[in-house]
Structure 1
Amino acid sequence: MSIVSMLKEVPHPGEFIRDELEARGWAQRDLAYILGVKEQAINPIMSGKRGISPDMARALSKAFGISPEYFLNLQKAYELSTSREADPAIERRAKLQSIFPIREMIKRGWFEDTQDVSLLETQVMRFFRTNLLEDVPCFAHSAKKSGDYSETTPLQMAWLFRVRQIADEMVAPRYSEAKLKASLVELERLMVDPEEIRHVPRILADAGIRFVVVETLPKANIDGVCFWLSASEPVIGMTCRHDRIDNFWFVLRHEIEHLLNKDSLESGLSSSIVDVDIDPSNENLPLVEVRANTAASKFCADQDAINSFLIRKYPYLSEKDTLGLARRLQRHPGIVVGQLQFRMAVEYKVNKYNWLTRHKVKIRQFLRGSANVDGWGDAIPVNL
């Protein structure tokens, strides 16, 4: 017998009380006398028109020698059996929300706000480009808590598919690796003035690269990604969650290196290609990530010059000397400060991430208007 059918057969507690009265040979007025109330006070309970309150449960407990919890449980079971069936859509919405941050995605304009769960599921399938809900990435494996699966994977996948959704609607010329390599010199010229970052999307587009900035989802800690819509349509996506000049250039060059090496060209979209919490000091990184980090560090600052500076100056690093190094390297001071902070943390085991941090200026503002930026209150309309 199912739980639902059992609940439907639960009698009102008044029936149990009548059985107890009959077993004891008591009349209803006898019970009223024992409880010290008028008979009219217990008539509604006996007829099933009123439930058993906690006070009455305690009184009946004394009268029958049965725990008050027993009477309360009888009342709860009866009320549950007579309650309306819950809307099946609740479970379906809970399933989606347990995997993806649906409310956040609606807030960001990725989905239409609706209580129609079928429409919501349709939007989720359309977003992930599948006709079956079971084929939505992470949906079928939402209960898995071990192995290669992690709780951030659905967040990574949702962010990644949003980047692709926007990139799909962008127009760019055919990708040219030669133009990209040549553009690295042009990009280096932009690394002195933060405002020059506004030219990055155009330079990348001229080389055939779709550049998209999508705000990361809560607790996802995503930095960027490089993937391919086709063999001639590369995409670089970034979050700019660390709104700092040093982080921007490091992550951008990291993703460009992935592109130059054609990383993920054959692998398609998966959470494994998303760069999360890029940390060059991690000794267990895959070779492709080590290679990308090395290229990014060299791009941000001449590593021989950084080494020489630290050997000569550490631990007495002055702001004046650091600004002089930045001028010689033709880099914004914030980029050089970021490189020095990292090298001190790795080689000297000294946390200096608050040192001269005012030079690590914000840059996100310079991308608005020149790049496809989705987030921080702005949403890019796309054809679903």
Structure 2
Amino acid sequence: MAVEKHVGIEPPGFFIKLELEARGWSQRDLAFVLGQVEQQLTPLLSGKRAITPDMARLLADAFDTSPEFFLNLQSHFDLANAKEPDPAVKARAQLQSAFPIREMVRRGWIKDGEASLLRLQMSRFLEEANDNDSKSSIAFAAKRTHYDDTPPHQLAWVHRVRQLAKKLHVESYSPEKLIEALPKLKSFMIDPDAIKEVPGILAECGVRLIVVEALPNAKIDGVCTWLDDGCPVIGLSTLYDRIDNFWFVLRHEIEHVLLGHGKGDLGMVDLSLTTDMNDEPKYQPEEERLANEAAADFCVPADKFNSFFARKSPYFYEKDVIGFASVLGVHPGIVVGQLQRRMKRYDYLRKYQVPVRQYLTETALADGWGTVAPADL
């Protein structure tokens, strides 16, 4: 074939005309070869009509070449004349590769917009962290399913907790007050409705309590982070909305606060672990071991639980569980949670593991579940 590829944005019809000239054909000749009416070719040769796959095959036979040749001519022309894409598309793609931007927009954490606005919002949201990096230098100690890394979904969740915590005004932090408050918190464990008192008690001790719904794929229960050396923050996701999980996670994070975990040079507390399904990790960082022991003993003292387990094993009747919980002054669901874990029977008396988020979000600064907490970016 005599046609050579030309550089530019000429329509395919331009090259067809060149081929006709090279062959000494007229438009009427081409119409005859193709078995069409001459007027049918006019829009094609003038660039007003695109080459379809059917026409590409006809032209290929007419000019003894491949249909791909004509389709490529059309494709290059269309691409050269396509509209310039919105720069926000590339920005969203880059940000989405590092953080769950779409979900953050849906949740109202940031607003969708042009590229510069998205980057500015993310820079502020991440407290001036590098928005091209999926890690952050923010130190925190988190009770997570896995401790081997900090996925972007979890990191974004922690930043949302910190963002909202800055809106709360609480008393100056006092570890002494927090320790003194533990018996009072313990007294709330018998009544799910009493959980609404927890945010106020912690605020009196200088601890900010924030409740943020977890992002999809972010299996994180709670976090202890610090706005500065004297401003501790506890974030809860209520990922598992059960009374036993709430009290265990809360006391776990309180222990992190009391021990000063998750701030300063300590950095990320979560270290590499190998975890079995529904089982204790084979290895735990010392900080996590201490927090877990404090939480378990707070919910059900270890010596009393071990005695009860030894006396009643292998048959734990419902009336015995309720009686034991009454003696301890806690809700039966808290004892059930400990028994489930020890027996590895997670369906055992599950009816007592009542949901508590509804009470907590009455008084805590909460974000998610259809509600967006106010926070200026």
TM-score, length basis structure 1: 0.84
Q: Name the residue aligned to 1:135.
A: 130
What is the 5 A alignment of 1:296-311? Answer: 296-311=295-310
- Alignment-mate amino acid for residue 210 of structure 1: R
Q: Name the residue aligned to 1:46.
A: 45
CA–CA separation in structure 2 for the residues paired with 1:324 and 1:36: 94
Distance verdict in 2 for CA 1:260–1:7, change over 3 Å: farther
Q: Name the residue aligned to 2:16.
A: 17
Q: Name the residue aligned to 1:361.
A: 354
Distance verdict in 2 for CA 1:304–1:313, change over 3 Å: same
Q: CA deviation at 1:18?
A: 3.0
CA–CA separation in structure 1 for the residues paired with 2:267 and 2:13: 62
Secondary structure (helix, strand or coil) at the match of 1:188 reads: helix
Distance verdict in 2 for CA 1:26–1:8, change over 3 Å: closer
Q: CA deviation at 1:223?
A: 0.9
Deviates more, 1:371-380 or 1:252-261: 371-380
Q: CA deviation at 1:75?
A: 0.9
Q: Where does the alignment leave 5 or more consecutive residues of structure 2 unmatched?
A: 137-146
Q: Name the residue aligned to 2:367.
A: 374
Distance verdict in 2 for CA 1:195–1:48, change over 3 Å: same
Q: Name the residue aligned to 2:171.
A: 173
Q: CA deviation at 1:186?
A: 1.3
Q: Name the residue aligned to 2:143.
A: none
Distance verdict in 2 for CA 1:222–1:139, change over 3 Å: closer
Whether 1:262 and 2:260 are equivalent positions in the alignment is yes
Question: Per-residue CA shift, 1:242-284, capped at 9, x if unaligned?
Answer: 11101000100110111111112214876959xxx99760112
CA–CA separation in structure 2 for the residues paired with 1:229 and 1:269: 13
Distance verdict in 2 for CA 1:215–1:269, change over 3 Å: farther
Q: CA deviation at 1:321?
A: 2.0
Q: Where does the alignment leave 5 or more consecutive residues of structure 1 unmatched?
A: 1-5, 142-147, 346-351
Q: Name the residue aligned to 1:145.
A: none
Give yes or no for contact 1:334–1:360 (8 Å, CA) kept in 2. Answer: yes
Q: CA deviation at 1:8?
A: 7.1
CA–CA separation in structure 2 for the residues paired with 1:7 and 1:192: 82
CA–CA separation in structure 2 for the residues paired with 1:267 and 1:95: 31
RMSD value, Cα: 2.8
Q: Name the residue aligned to 2:211.
A: 213
What is the 5 A alignment of 1:176-191? Answer: 176-191=174-189
Distance verdict in 2 for CA 1:287–1:198, change over 3 Å: same
Give yes or no for contact 1:128–1:137 (8 Å, CA) kept in 2. Answer: no
- Alignment-mate amino acid for residue 54 of structure 1: P
CA–CA separation in structure 2 for the residues paired with 1:67 and 1:262: 72
- Alignment-mate amino acid for residue 285 of structure 1: Q
Distance verdict in 2 for CA 1:309–1:302, change over 3 Å: same
Q: CA deviation at 1:235?
A: 1.2
Secondary structure (helix, strand or coil) at the match of 1:230 reads: coil
Secondary structure (helix, strand or coil) at the match of 1:191 reads: helix
CA–CA separation in structure 2 for the residues paired with 1:380 and 1:230: 22
Give yes or no for contact 2:95–2:132 (8 Å, CA) kept in 1. Answer: no
Give yes or no for contact 1:192–1:332 (8 Å, CA) kept in 2. Answer: yes
- Alignment-mate amino acid for residue 101 of structure 1: P
- Alignment-mate amino acid for residue 378 of structure 1: T
Give yes or no for contact 1:7–1:80 (8 Å, CA) kept in 2. Answer: no
What is the 5 A alignment of 1:1-384? Answer: 9-111=8-110, 113-130=111-128, 135-136=130-131, 138=133, 153-267=151-265, 281-345=280-344, 352-384=345-377
Q: Figure out how many residues of one structure are paired with residues of the other and give that number.
A: 359
- Alignment-mate amino acid for residue 74 of structure 2: Q
Q: CA deviation at 1:361?
A: 0.2
Give yes or no for contact 2:340–2:346 (8 Å, CA) kept in 1. Answer: yes
Give yes or no for contact 2:261–2:269 (8 Å, CA) kept in 1. Answer: no
Question: Per-residue CA shift, 1:186-239, capped at 9, x if unaligned?
Answer: 111111111111111122122221111111122211211112222222111111
Give yes or no for contact 2:232–2:257 (8 Å, CA) kept in 1. Answer: yes
CA–CA separation in structure 1 for the residues paired with 2:102 and 2:266: 27
Secondary structure (helix, strand or coil) at the match of 1:196 reads: helix
Distance verdict in 2 for CA 1:183–1:88, change over 3 Å: same
Secondary structure (helix, strand or coil) at the match of 2:235 reads: strand
Structure with more contact order per residue of length (Cα contacts < 8 Å, sep ≥ 6): 2
CA–CA separation in structure 2 for the residues paired with 1:204 and 1:188: 13
- Alignment-mate amino acid for residue 118 of structure 2: L
CA–CA separation in structure 2 for the residues paired with 1:119 and 1:322: 56
Secondary structure (helix, strand or coil) at the match of 1:212 reads: strand
Q: CA deviation at 1:355?
A: 1.6
Distance verdict in 2 for CA 1:46–1:235, change over 3 Å: same
Q: Name the residue aligned to 1:3.
A: none
Question: Per-residue CA shift, 1:324-374, capped at 9, x if unaligned?
Answer: 2222222211111111111112xxxxxx11121110001011112321122
Deviates more, 1:179-188 or 1:310-319: 310-319
TM-score, length basis structure 2: 0.86
Q: CA deviation at 1:35?
A: 0.9
